[in-house]
Amino acid sequence: MFRRLLTLVLVIGACSIAQAQKSTPTDMVPVKGGTFVPLYGSNNQTVTVQSFRMDRYPVTNAQYEDFLAKYPKWRKSEVKALFADAGYLKHWASPLGVGPAADKLKDSPVINVSWFAAKAYCECQGKRLPTVNEWEFAALASETKKDASSEPSFYQRSLDWYSQPNPKYLPPVQSAFKNYYGLYGMIGLVWEWTSDFNSALIVGESRQNASLDRQLFCGAGSTGASDVKNYVAFMRYAFRSSLKANYTVANLGFRCVQDVPVQTTAKK
Amino acid sequence: MKRFTLYLFTLIALGLTACQQEVAHEDDSCCAKPVAEGLPDGTGTLAIPAAALTDMSLYNLDSDWQNQRGEELKLQNFQGKVQLVAMVYTHCSYACPRIVADLKRIEMGLEQYKQEDIGIVLVTMDPARDTPARLLQFAESNNLNPKRWTLLTSEQDNIRELAALLNMKYKMELDGEISHSNIISVLNENGEIIHQAEGLGVEPDETVNAIKSLLQKI
């Protein structure tokens, strides 16, 4: 009798372990919330970011192949032009996968994906795209510090990366720079989509879109940046502002995030 | 004893099923959009099949919206008619009254057409404060003819998705204002963008002509 009870406890236990693992996946890392001053914040105002979980790596070609196997409507042959332009997955040899270069590319970040495709991918994993603020907050970390924004050497890493042409084959995600949180490739691998990319670069009450570019690229306008030496983040904001939701770009990938669930104390 | 065993096994079975159901449920619930499917409950007044949507139709977005009367609708409900679309928020003190004025100027250039031929859609960027009731109040205080003007709200995520397709950029500021671009879009009867005017106080002629040439084709 006791043994049966034990079995019952074990079964229920196994189930809840599975549940617990689902809620803290090993392929994600926690990013503890905090405050920071975004580059194009209003009047250097501090922004608060809640705690969240972020994918350890950008989404890879192999992972994206799995996604397409399950959700055919996102295949190159099926997707509507509204949701992804003609360059969608153009680095793949077939609509279903990378093809002959698979051994070189399966663990490399997937690129040439639109915002809609990235968003759908994350939603299918029970996740979402990070906001600009979440992404920038997590990207402030060096190997050893949460906030390396005061270290010139940290910017040098980005500058070195931005000044290099895209390699023919992007390296595997595991080989990329790993930061304080355990996030790989926030710098040095690919640019990444954010959920509110179309909030970038609005400064004040803009009268028309063109004025945004002027604010950014004219000498006087660029002093609007909260930290002028932060040319790096400046590049990212500028890039985001140039995107449209169905654009696909050869060095633009994504990773997903999740809210940290509110802790329930009642669970025994 | 035997009964107790049975009871135990039932419990175990239930436990396992619950576990599996959870997983299965997750598979089903994700990826709900953007899919162009028919109205789910079949109660919709529009009998337009999803297949009729063209590739670049904004009506491929399957999200749920509410108008100023609190009625639920899909973007597909706007199919079949030329629509002028702009995004606003009613607590806005500067740009939004201007964009409504711009839309009215365009409307004046279209007096020869019947009310029913052209729709004007205002989409809020501020769903937290712009409830249907607030939108109705805004429509009435601006004398917006309900036969022509529809004011829409939805969840922020759906609004951001539509904004992305309209090439709109907007950002919530900490003081409650929203910085945003000003774009008036003309959609043809299929929901494709055929013309966009950026900025405030733009001469209405180009937009009016774009609409006229569309209406001649229909």
Instruction: Quick: pLDDT tens for A158-170.
Output: 888 888 888 889 9
How far is CA B207 from each of CA B78, B85, B108, B148, B184, rounded to the nearest angstrom? 19, 12, 12, 17, 9
Regarding beta strands B183-187 and A252-253, do their DSSP bridges make them parallel or antiparallel, or are they unpaired?
Answer: unpaired
Mean pLDDT of the B70-98 span: 91
**Nearest-Cα residue of chain A relative to residue B2:** A1
Residue A180 exposed, middle or buried by CB count within 10 Å (0-12, 13-18, 19+): middle
Mean pLDDT of the A36-56 span: 82
Nearest CA-CA distance, residue A126 and chain B, Å:
7
CATH 3.40.30.10 for the B55-217 domain, yes or no: yes
Mean pLDDT of the B11-34 span: 45
Instruction: Quick: pLDDT tens for A136-157.
Output: 999 999 999 999 877 878 878 8
Q: Is B195 annotated as a binding residue?
A: no
Confidence of residue A229 (pLDDT cuts 50, 70, 90): low
Confidence of residue B189 (pLDDT cuts 50, 70, 90): very high
Report which secondary-structure segment, H or E, holds A29: strand A28-31
Domain at A29-257: CATH architecture:
Alpha-Beta Complex (3.90)
Q: Would you kindly state where each structural domain of chain A is located, as residue ranges?
A: 29-257
Q: What is the pLDDT of residue B2?
A: 53
Residue A46 has pLDDT above 80, yes or no: yes
Residue B52 has pLDDT above 60, yes or no: yes
Q: Per the CB < 8 Å rule, is A209 touching B16?
A: no
Contact A253, A59 (CB under 8 A): yes
Nearest CA-CA distance, residue A118 and chain B, Å:
11
Q: Per the CB < 8 Å rule, is B164 touching A212?
A: no
Structure tokens at B39: 């109205």
A20 to chain B, any CB pair closer than 8 A? The answer is: no
- In which residue are the tokens 């895209």 written? A166
Nearest CA-CA distance, residue A51 and chain B, Å:
19
Instruction: Quick: pLDDT tens for A108-125.
Output: 999 999 999 999 999 999
